[in-house]
Every structure is written in structure tokens, then in C-alpha cells.
Amino acid sequence: MDKAITVVLLGAGNRANVYASVSLKYPSKMKVVGIVDPDPVRRELMRERYSVPQENCFVDVSEFVKRDKFADAVINGTMDHLHVPTSIPVLEKGYDLLLEKPFAVNEKEMDELVSVAEKHKSKVVIGHVLRYTDFYGAIKNHILKGEIGKIISIEMCEHVSYHHMAASYVRGKWSSEKICFAPMLLAKSCHDIDIMLWMMKETEPCAVASFGADFQFGKERKPEGAGTRCLKDCPYVDSCIFSAKSNYLAFPRWGQYVWKCLESNKNITDTEKELSLKTDNRYGKCVWDFERDGNVDHQAVMYNFADGATGVFSMIGGCAKPERNIHIVGTKGEIKGTFEDSKYVVRTMAPSASLLGYDEKMYDLNVKGDMIGAADGHGGGDEKLVYDFLDYMHGNAPSVCCATLDDSVKSHRAVFKAIEAKKSGNIIRF
């Protein structure tokens, strides 16, 4: 790379900040030169963090695109339902785009974005960061080498921890389709469906069936005698697994969401946090008092692929331990592993090898000599995705990991069809 790629941050939230932080670590590769966000506190925090001139800070996208183009690309980290309406003016202005997933919340607006990107010949990369992790990248490499033959079946699951479920999908921004317009399967697990279709690159899904429900939440499941706010009037404050006291004060989980309402304070005290949870902070409300609007806490999906293979995915919100598992069976062998452990096994059929009839090799990506797994940033995927995007911006061909708009359309459509199948109770054909 012979020059730093200049970017404007559209949305000054957590995801844009994660991607933009590459510019602080490697300023010769990327430079943040603009900020667009309606929140004055967030806008100023990001402006200071990335040393952006005041004249390059904007309240909304319409104000931003009035200016002549002054950067190479835009990183769009707005909320899900804002992705398409904010991205279209950016593409029409001539910017290339790194767009957070899910990049659209329905098929109609997805197709609209594709049409605009094609018209302007824009480079658009979607933030499917799991492709860039050592774990999934290594498994993809085994498949590309043909080690397990042609894929017969792929089984995947995502176990979402109970505290993540509560923080993001009950108390948080994705609690209801009325608020975020993205059901949990789309908001949380379009990553996983993308991985499935990436592994099954040689074929495409042709039909889907799906079942799911909200098993745990809603007012009708609220424990008898529970209060309205954990720290204000609830007798279960010290025993409830969803208590704001244990999840956000005793153990400071999900602070990027919980304390957003206090982020204008430079140094937030414990007293201020407790008062916030007792009064107006939505994260202090009883977890059973939120409107769910038909959103699910678990969903199972089964795909039939055009070549006859099958794919099964289960998303379960409310588990003790967060975990992603994958098991791919091919005509010559199989691959099975757990993402969080950075370990997987490859078994290949070998009739003469032993009584078992297969050879087995374990891969531990935490061990020196194999690839090194990263504990944070989606297993190191966040940073690697940005590097790959910058490489693409420099004119190089998309890498095998790159989730171009065309790739992401296929996985998003697969998610939309699964949601339709769940709501209708029918098998949906593509």
C-alpha cells in the first residue's frame, strides 16, 4: 500500500469505532478524515479520538453529501434499518463503502442498494468478519484443498449467552422489530448463514424450512412479585440471572451499550451508574417488561441446496456459555470444531488405517506452529477485514475471504427466506 486510504465514519457507534481503530494502530494504511452522526456527544468523542477537523463533522448524511467528495471511502456503522437509506447517497456521491452487517433489513431495499452500487460501479464490502478469523479461514482452506471431498451436510449452531441475549436482544437496540426492523436471526446470525454459504460456495440454497419462538421473555413469563426495575423495587435483585445489579454493576458486562446514556461524563462513578439503572436507563428495567413484537430467542433453520446437500443452523439465545460449533461432512471426510476454543478436527476416510477406518488430525490454533487465534475482535476478524478492504481499495482483486456485495446478497436472501418460512410455517423456495 503506497498511501493511506482516507475514510469517513458514517455513524459514530461501536462498530465504526472498532473498524476505524486500525487507523490509530497503522496510520500509514488508513486515516479517518470525517464523522457523520446526529449525536453531538458521540460525534465529538470520535472527532477527538481520530483528530478530525471540525469542518469535516456532519449531523446527517444529507449534509455530508453536499460537500465535494473528500475521501476514498465511507465506513457505515449506523443501525441496521439505516444502512440502505444512508448508503445510497454515499454511493451516488462516488464513495466506495465498507458496510456493517446486516446491510439491509428486507429484500426490497437490498435489491435497491445492489442496483445503485452496480450503476455507479462501487466497491462495496460487507462486514462479515467471521470469514477473516483463523478458525473459519483454516476450515475453508481444507475445503478448498478438497480434503473432505464434496460437502454432503453442514451443521452449525450459535449459542448466545443469557447476558448477551438480555443486553442486546431484550433490553437493547434489537429487542423488537418495531425498533430495529431486524429479527434476531438477521441481526445476530447473518454472520453464521454467511459462513454456511461461504463453505458451500459451489452450490446455492433452493428451499428452506424454519421454526422458532420466544420461549423465555415477555410479561406473561414475569416471575410473580417481580418489580419494574432491578435496583429499585425487585425482591429478586440478588438472585435473578438477568439482574442489572450482577450483570452491569458487580460484573461490568456490555458497557458499550449500558452506559451510553452517561457517556457525556468523562469519569462515570459507581453512584451515577446505580442511579441511572434505578431511574431512566433502559438496562435497569425488568427483563420481562420489554415488548418483544414476535421476536424470537431461538430459531432452527434447514436449507436444501441445489446439488442435494443440506445445511442446518440453530441459534439459541439464553445459554450459559457463548459458543459457535460447526460440523461439515463430505464424501471423503469431515471437519468438526468450536470457534471459541480455536480447535477443530479433520477426519478422513482411510479403510486400511485402523479398525476405526479413518485418520484424524487435531488442529489447535492457540498453539504456536499452527495459526494464532485472537481472543477479541471476533477472533481477530475485525482488524483483518479492514486490512482486506484497504487492499481492495488499492485496486487488488477481492480475496477469498472478502464478502463482496454479490456474496452477501446470497446469504442475506437466505436469511430473509428463513424468516419468511418461520413466520408462514411453510417451506419457502428460492
d(CA 336, CA 333) in angstroms, rounded, equals: 10
Whether 163 and 216 have beta carbons less than 8 Å apart is answered as: no
pLDDT of amino acid 378: 63
SS3 326: strand
In terms of CATH architecture, what is 130-218+293-378+400-429?
Answer: 2-Layer Sandwich (3.30)
CATH value of 5-122 in 2.40.50.140, 3.40.50.720, 3.40.190.10, 3.30.465.10: 3.40.50.720
Put residue 51 in one of left, alpha, beta given phi > 0 → left and psi -120 to 50 → alpha: left
**Residue range 87-115: average pLDDT?**
97
pTM to 2 decimal places: 0.93
- Per-residue model confidence as pLDDT tens digits over 136-191: 999 999 999 999 999 999 999 999 999 999 999 999 989 888 888 889 999 999 99
- Per-residue model confidence as pLDDT tens digits over 349-401: 999 878 889 999 999 998 744 433 344 456 678 999 999 999 999 999 999 99
How far, in whole angstroms, is CA 356 from its chain's centroid?
A: 39
Q: Which residue has the cell 487492499?
A: 391
pLDDT higher than threshold 60 for residue 14: yes
pLDDT higher than threshold 70 for residue 304: yes
Q: How many angstroms separate the first and last alpha carbons of the chain?
A: 41
d(CA 239, CA 282) in angstroms, rounded, equals: 20
pLDDT of amino acid 377: 53
Strand partners, 126: 99
pLDDT of amino acid 379: 65
pLDDT of amino acid 369: 45
Domain spans, the chain: 5-122, 130-218+293-378+400-429, 220-289
pLDDT higher than threshold 60 for residue 1: no
Q: What string of DSSP letters covers 96-114?
A: EEEEPSS--SSHHHHHHHH
Q: Do domains 5-122 and 130-218+293-378+400-429 have the same CATH topology?
A: no
Helix axes 184-199, 405-424, angle to 10 degrees: 120
Instruction: Provide Rg for the chain, Cα atoms.
Output: 23
d(CA 106, CA 186) in angstroms, rounded, equals: 10
Q: What is the mean pLDDT of the chain?
A: 94
- Per-residue model confidence as pLDDT tens digits over 265-294: 878 999 999 999 999 999 999 999 999 887
Q: Alpha carbon of 267 to those of 13, 45, 123: distances in Å?
A: 19, 14, 41
Helix axes 162-169, 184-199, angle to 10 degrees: 120
pLDDT of amino acid 374: 40
pLDDT higher than threshold 50 for residue 233: yes
pLDDT higher than threshold 70 for residue 93: yes
